[in-house]
């Protein structure tokens, strides 16, 4: 075999909605540089929704109908984008979360805060359909690549491949006014399961200025403004250079999520050598080798953040962005050759 022909299915590549979109961009960038692999990218042209995902699924079935790929790799398990595709290619999917893990996070946040976003309400209503699709889809794929050990599906060929991410250098002073602030940073989608009720308490009960970066920030902004809270800034979704800037100038990163698998913010925290305050969820302890600050509950979360304000510190995780990306690319390549039963050295 001269090279492996791969169809990379990345629904969130153009309109990034979360970690799966960043994962897809990182993977595509790495695959394009690999001489043993020829990769074609297929992405949704619209922002991700139930209907745009369905349209993409139907369109993808037509586009791949007469293609001769060795591997079809879907970068997001819960999108099921290639479910309707029938071909001889080996099927690989990357698992970030499952229908059940999403449900657990939503229900826990509902119990803790009593609130849900419209997006999460939609998810609850569509859960039975998603669960059926998940079971059907798992039977069609030949290999599952999971980004963590905490969230898995029943499949006879599952490989754990650690996430990897890059933060590009920046030269511009994007937010000069922020350099005068002592701020904590939250990066991620502004959903109730991500702990936005705790972010409100951060503004209420600590001296920190709160900066957030991510989609769906209207919900948090409205909640804060309703309570006449002013010590915050919602940057919305920001590009990677701006994000690096926000990381570099914060004092601590907060991740109050009720549910996670292997969040990219952990890797980004290690790149910029900033402390991460979080709950013991998902694969966080393993990723950060127990160097994160673990809170037991909401009260402890605020208490630890207040203590950090009095005595801030930095952490050197001994993490290499370059090595992490290299290992990620090598492990993906091994998985491709393994699913094809080919010798990687041939």
pLDDT along the chain (346 residues), means of 10: 91 88 96 96 88 90 92 94 93 93 89 84 89 91 89 80 93 93 95 92 96 88 88 94 97 95 94 96 90 95 98 92 96 96 68
Residue 238 sits in the same domain as residue 276: yes
Residue 16 sits in the same domain as residue 95: yes
Q: What φ, ψ does residue 145 adopt, rounded to 5°? A: -105, 110
The answer for residues whose C-beta is within 8 angstroms of residue 132's C-beta and 6 or more apart is none
Contact 211, 231 (CB under 8 A): no
In this structure, are strands 158-160 and 90-95 parallel, antiparallel, or unpaired?
unpaired
Place of tokens 């984008």: 81
Residue 287 sits in the same domain as residue 330: no
Here the tokens at position 304 are 């630890």
Bridge partners (DSSP) listed for residue 346: none
pLDDT of residue 141: 94
Contact 255, 101 (CB under 8 A): no
d(CA 265, CA 24): 16
pLDDT of residue 346: 58
Residue 10 sits in the same domain as residue 148: yes
pLDDT of residue 154: 73
Place of tokens 């004092």: 251
CA 226 to chain centre: 29
**Total length of the chain:** 346
Q: Is residue 304 part of a domain?
A: yes
CA angle centred on 15, ends 11 and 16, rounded to 5°: 85
Q: Is residue 68 part of a domain?
A: yes
pTM of this structure: 0.92
Residue 155 sits in the same domain as residue 9: yes
Give residue 45's domain range: 4-100+126-161+323-339
pLDDT digits (tens, 9 = 90+) for 219-243: 888 888 888 999 999 999 999 999 9
């Amino acid at each position: 075999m001269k090279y492996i022909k791969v169809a990379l299915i990345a629904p969130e590549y153009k309109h990034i909605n979360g970690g799966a979109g960043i994962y897809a961009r990182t993977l595509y960038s790495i695959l394009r540089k690999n001489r043993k692999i020829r990769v074609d990218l297929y992405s949704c042209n619209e922002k991700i929704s139930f209907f745009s995902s369905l349209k993409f699924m139907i369109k993808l079935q037509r586009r791949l109908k007469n293609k001769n790929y060795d591997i079809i790799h879907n970068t997001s398990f819960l999108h099921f984008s290639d479910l309707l595709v029938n071909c001889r290619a080996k099927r690989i999917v990357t698992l970030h979360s499952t229908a059940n893990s999403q449900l657990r996070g939503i229900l826990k946040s509902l119990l803790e805060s009593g609130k849900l976003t419209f997006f999460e309400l939609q998810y609850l209503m569509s859960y039975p359909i998603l669960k059926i699709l998940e079971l059907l889809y798992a039977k069609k794929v030949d290999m599952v690549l999971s980004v963590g050990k905490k969230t898995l599906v029943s499949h006879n060929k599952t490989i754990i491949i650690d996430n990897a991410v890059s933060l590009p250098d920046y030269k511009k002073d994007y937010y000069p006014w922020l350099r005068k602030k002592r701020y904590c940073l939250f990066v991620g989608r502004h959903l109730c399961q991500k702990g936005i009720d705790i972010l409100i308490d951060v503004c209420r009960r600590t001296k920190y200025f709160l900066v957030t970066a991510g989609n769906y920030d209207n919900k948090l902004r409205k909640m804060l403004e309703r309570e006449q809270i002013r010590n915050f800034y919602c940057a919305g979704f920001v590009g990677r250079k701006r994000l690096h800037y926000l990381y570099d100038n914060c004092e601590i990163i907060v991740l109050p999520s009720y549910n996670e698998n292997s969040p990219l913010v952990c890797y980004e925290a290690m790149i910029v050598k900033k402390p991460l305050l979080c709950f013991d969820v998902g694969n966080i302890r393993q990723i950060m080798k127990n160097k994160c600050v673990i809170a037991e509950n909401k009260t402890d979360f605020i208490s630890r953040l207040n203590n950090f304000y009095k005595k801030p510190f930095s952490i050197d995780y001994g993490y290499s962005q370059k090595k992490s990306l290299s290992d990620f690319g090598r492990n993906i390549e091994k998985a491709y050759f393994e699913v094809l039963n080919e010798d990687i050295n041939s």
